[in-house]
Chain A
Amino acid sequence: MFGQQELGLLVLIIVLALIVNAANDRFLTPTNVANLLQTVTVVGIIAVGMTFVLIAKEIDLSVGSVLALSAVSAGYLYSTGVNPWIAMIAGIVTGGLCGLVVGTIVVFGKVSSFIVTLGMLSVARGLTQLITGGLPQQMPAELKFIGQGRVFEIVPVSVVIFIVLVIIGQFMLTRTVFGLRVTAIGDNDTAARLGGIPVARTRVAVFVLIGLLAGVAGIVYSTQVGVAEAQAAQGYELDVIAAAVIGGASLAGGRGSIVGAFLGACLLGLLRNAFILLNLSSFLQQVSIGAVIILAALFDQARQGNLGSLRSLGSSLRRRFLARR
């Protein structure tokens, strides 16, 4: 479960946490850690699905919009008198349907998922506006505990949901036929097809999975705030992809880790939180988060031994230098 990338991330998180705590001793208090985790749940839950999508050598840019559409659908149904639990499930299913539409077009229309989900990003956001007319939808009070409740008065319910989904996700990826098929398809599509793996079905299922998870994230997000807004989670797709990539998912497919994505989401949250606690510029925060994403990808390449050219560059420079002397 813990490969090099995950261990490296864990060490990095611990070291960063200790540094921040040295500067501000309110950092490593149970309340702050719980709050920090709560801020990463929305991005983290979708990152579980994004990891599957990236491993399958696809991408999903529509998750922020699908999240909003799911939340708004649930809120709207509730406002028309539907049972809150059924409204919630319907909201999550809406996310799954968006994934089904995307997956079907990607697989059978043979359009790249970048384009299809770019389209869905706009379509889902537009539908959200249509449903709400731009007005926030009240979320049912019965569901408030999902976003705001705490287990033993300390651990947020949303964090529990997040961690359970991470565990299920990691198990699905490494121990189920589905997970192995996703890995096979992302690594070598042709070999998977020749090997009798149901490529089309599996690929559609991956998009349905991330859609459902965006739906769950939508419920968590809207119950945290209490209302489902049309503009919710705009731009979240970038954070979600970043979390998955920091966690070791490769955009070239075939490789990734759910535990890694969990840690990636935590690292992003930690950086944000640290910049606030240390009173540092939010512009600097943006810069550092971007740098972390790039460094994570570089680190991964180096670990794969793909940066051999750097080493040979070094040796040729050394040779040149020594020869000159």
Chain B
Amino acid sequence: MNDLHQDGGTALTPAALRVAGVSKSFGAVRALRDVSLEFRAGQVTALLGENGAGKSTLIRVCSGVMQPDLGQVIVDGEPVDWRGPIDGIRSGVVVVNQEPQLVAELTVADNIFLSELSERPGATLAHRKRSVQRARELLARLEMADYLPSPETVCRRLSAAERQMVDIVRALSHDPKVLFLDEPNSSLTHQETERLWAVVDRMRSNGVAVVLVSHRLAEVYEIADHVIVLRDGAFVKDGPASEIDQESAVALMAGEKKSEVISELETHVVGDEVEPALTLRALSGEGFDSVDIAFRPGEVVGMAGLIGAGRSEIAAGVIGLTRVRAGEMRLFGRAVLPRNPRHAQRLGIAYVAEERPTEVFKLQTVAFNLTARVFDRLSRLSFVSRRSTNATARDLAQRFGVKAASVHAPISSLSGGNQQKVLLARALAAKPRVLILDEPTRGVDVGTKAEIYALLKHLARTENLAVWFISSEMEEVLELADRIVVIRHGRVVRDAPNTADPTPVIAAAMGVTESDR
């Protein structure tokens, strides 16, 4: 790459962190191959690539968590010799991870200054009152006081977005020169992301080199100045965001495999005359109220809304995880009320939860994970047949395109996208008639996303499955849904066919009244 690269419009700024010829392998896997690139001060750089492209490894190498096998990390012109993340932080390189690592029982202030606990002797007093005061000052200085509840609040009570903010404030308390944000917006709503971008913008004006990793391209492009694309552990291309647009970035990330991910909109609206597989009538429960929705066989219904709008809560009520207070549910016309997820599954309603770790049996094999919902069916007199288990697992792995060395490989050896496919296959192994998916592709790479979308559409059409997915990614809702239901404050505020136009959906989710209605 060219060190004297001139950005379109913006003046050349110095490199805050440079990576020269870095390689890193884990056993036989070459996570980074001779990567050279730089992150400039006062710029927001989007680091793009599919899962497994080497972004996470690059961040770990740049922040001192790992040492490269070959090559150097250069900060302010000096090659570094770091032995741990603490050394990186001392040099001003700070990482905000995807999952905020907070101590839930401590306050916001305690969490912001958590690293001080490691620096001071254990026998000294923790100045909790003073740290609340310091947290206030810090928030005021960062102009972020409005984004968080009082610093005395215990983190257990915070929303996912607020936790993310605490993590970011903590990172900013170190006055970073280089700040890595790893999927900071993956669990944020669009509105929350905009607030986050405002913070990022301020950091940029203060001369911080911000590096952004995210699968939500549209949002990334709202803020990024510069784009770097990695593929299979190698540097592919970099350039100003104005030159590498979203479509070319996707093409660069995917390489030869797929150039046309954002496919033509092809919806399949099932008419009212078809008897719904699942009907919710005036359903009320914990976090939702008077919900009316019909899910028809063959149709993919996308449920949009802000985080905390009550979408997951509706699903939890439907599968009997929480109690339904009022209203009724009908399954092909028959009134039902699942007592628990087991009952729901027997009735033919399958559910996959939103966070992958809550669903994966992490110590077991791929085969175990694939068949975990059908142990009973693979057994005679409760003795499980190995042969039919393996056959079922192989069949599912093949149908759902799970890439694994063998079904006997540990599930932990699979990439996130492949694990997600396993979860999907597992839910469908029980041959449900209604499939509920909460955030079906969170943290999954672009190529696998497209595969999952194609698979879900195909299943809905060919097996007459009613699919209901919850998603906070507008692109995903527009890409996958036949019909879009918008939830706000636990109620249905919009239920209409997908027209590929995000405006009315976002407007409904945010409570903006449309003038033309």
Contact = CB atoms under 8 A, between A and B. Distances in A.
A254 B363 contact: yes
A112 interface: no
A316 B83 contact: yes
A176 B382 CA distance: 6
B384 A196 contact: no
A321 to B, nearest CB: 13
Contacts of A316: 67, 83
Contact of A196 (B346, B379, B383): B346
Given A254-B363, A255-B363, A193 B341 contact: yes
A177 interface: yes
Contacts of A192: 372
Which of A190, A195, A250, A255: most chain B Cβ within 10 A? A195
A190 B83 contact: no
Interface in B333-349: 340-342, 344-346
B376 A177 contact: yes
B358 interface: yes
Given A188-B358, A188-B359, A175 B383 contact: yes
Nearest to A178: B382
Contact of A177 (B345, B363, B379): B379
Given A195-B372, A316-B83, A254 B361 contact: yes
Interface residues of B, number: 34
Contacts of A198: 342
B430 A196 contact: yes
A300 to B, nearest CB: 12
A176 B385 CA distance: 8
Nearest to A194: B341
A177 B375 contact: yes
Given A177-B382, A188-B359, A254 B364 contact: yes
A187 B359 CA distance: 10
Q: How large is the interface on A (under 10, 10 to 19, 20 to 34, 35 or more residues)?
A: 20 to 34
Interface in A178-217: 178, 180-181, 183-184, 187-188, 190-198
B464 to A, nearest CB: 22
A197 B372 contact: yes
A175 B382 CA distance: 9
B394 interface: no
Contacts of A195: 341, 345, 372-373, 426
B383 A176 contact: yes
B353 interface: yes
Which of A188, A250, A323: most chain B Cβ within 10 A? A188
Nearest to A183: B364
B363 A190 contact: no
A4 B426 CA distance: 28
Nearest to A200: B340
Interface in B424-473: 426, 430
Nearest to B373: A195
Contacts of A254: 361-364
B386 interface: yes
Contacts of B426: 195
Given A316-B67, A316-B83, A194 B363 contact: no
A181 B430 CA distance: 16
Nearest to B340: A193
Given A183-B361, A196-B341, 5 more contacts: A193-B342, A194-B358, A196-B344, A196-B373, A255-B363
30 contacts: A175-B384, A176-B379, A176-B382, A177-B375, A177-B376, A177-B379, A180-B372, A181-B375, A183-B368, A184-B372, A187-B362, A188-B359, A188-B362, A190-B353, A190-B358, A191-B358, A191-B361, A192-B372, A193-B340, A193-B341, A195-B372, A195-B373, A195-B426, A196-B345, A196-B346, A196-B373, A254-B362, A315-B67, A316-B83, A323-B81
Interface of B: 66-67, 81, 83, 319, 321, 340-342, 344-346, 351-353, 358-364, 368, 372-373, 375-376, 379, 382-384, 386, 426, 430
Q: Which 8 interchain pairs have the tightest Cβ spacing?
A: A196-B345, A196-B342, A254-B363, A187-B361, A195-B373, A177-B382, A177-B375, A191-B359
